[in-house]
Amino acid sequence: MFIDFVQIEVGSGKGGDGAVTFRREKYVPKGGPSGGNGGVGGSVIFETQHNLSTLLDFRYKKKFIAENGKPGASSLKDGKDGEDIIVKVPVGTIVKDAETEEILLDLSQPNKKVVFAKGGAGGKGNSNFATPTRRTPRFATNGKPGEQRKVILELKLIADVGLVGFPNAGKSTLISKISAAKPKIADYPFTTLEPNLGIVRYKDYQSFTVADIPGIIEGAHQGKGLGIKFLRHIERTRILLFLIDITSEDYQKDFDTLYNELKKYSKKLVDKKIIVSLSKSDLIPEKELAKLSKFKIKKVKDPILIFSSATGFGLKSLEDKLWESLNKP
């Protein structure tokens, strides 16, 4: 199951209290203060993991609390520091404040550890407060409290290319043909119920990633259909590949509908490089393809691409165009 939005509670540990003790040795009748310091509370640390692709684990565990620091002891012994708690998340996770929705962390780098909530400082033992005029201090300080916070974890997949199209436009079939991804494919709308990531191996040990999200319909920015729920997963892509069914009666209208839905969701999406393709070319006579290849889509500079995932026609040209666009300075 793909989960990309959860709320959890995190808390760092309280610092241990300082100790009030005095030396009690056989030949030292008036021993001085010997209370040790409290240990530092454990911190909350977020760590990105390459092998995670969903926030599913957080459905079952929603509270992450680090260990408290141990109190100081006699003989100037400091308390043990509390153990940190590591919260492992997929690359691309955003951490937001649950109340204000302010972005606190953007964890877009792999294998990265970030201290989110520092543990409370340990209290000072009475040995710290001895002076020439105050030789037997009978007080110590308490450890500082840790930080408690409710946060939202929101996952935004990181890919080079995002596939955009109506339901049943052929996005899932395409990603299954050009990568090792195996999304569910069927001949009815809304087959794709969650995002899919595929790695396209290109020529000599090179590659790029493609994200497929559920199809977008008119009114998606208002919550219609499934696409709007997952549009965040193409916000980080560098290129948007629009797929339009070649059997459509009006390519420009289809493009405009998709374009406007993205724009209403976030203008940043339509500021990306856009490439338009016609899918399912095997469904029309071959003699019509040359005529269609000259079709121009308004708002898009590059010529339209035509391909068929069923026959493989045009897939190499499509990969070449994507690679070339990704590597343009």
Average per-residue pLDDT for the chain: 86
Is 64 found in the same domain as 35?
yes
In terms of pLDDT, which residue wins out, 56 or 187?
56
Confidence check: pLDDT of 25 > 50: yes
Is 185 found in the same domain as 268?
yes
Confidence check: pLDDT of 190 > 60: no
Q: What is the CATH number of the domain that holds 92?
A: 2.70.210.12
Number of domains within the chain: 2
Quote the domain boundaries for residue 257: 161-326
Is 32 found in the same domain as 171?
no
If pLDDT is split at 50, 70 and 90, which confidence band does 320 have? very high
Is 171 found in the same domain as 143?
no
Prediction pTM value? 0.68
Boundary of a domain, candidates 132, 155, 178: 155
Determine the average pLDDT of the residues in 217-243: 70
Q: What is the CATH number of the domain that holds 220?
A: 3.40.50.300
pLDDT, one tens digit per residue, over 72-109 is 999 899 999 999 999 999 888 999 999 999 999 999 88
Find, among 45, 168, 133, the residue nearest to 95 by Cα: 45
Boundary of a domain, candidates 129, 155, 181: 155
Is 273 found in the same domain as 176?
yes
Confidence check: pLDDT of 153 > 90: yes
Is 278 found in the same domain as 136?
no
Is 124 found in the same domain as 223?
no
Is 203 found in the same domain as 57?
no
Boundary of a domain, candidates 120, 155, 190: 155
Lowest mean pLDDT segment, chosen from 117-126, 228-237, 300-309: 228-237
| Bridge partners of residue 93, in order along the sequence | 107, 155
Confidence check: pLDDT of 192 > 50: no
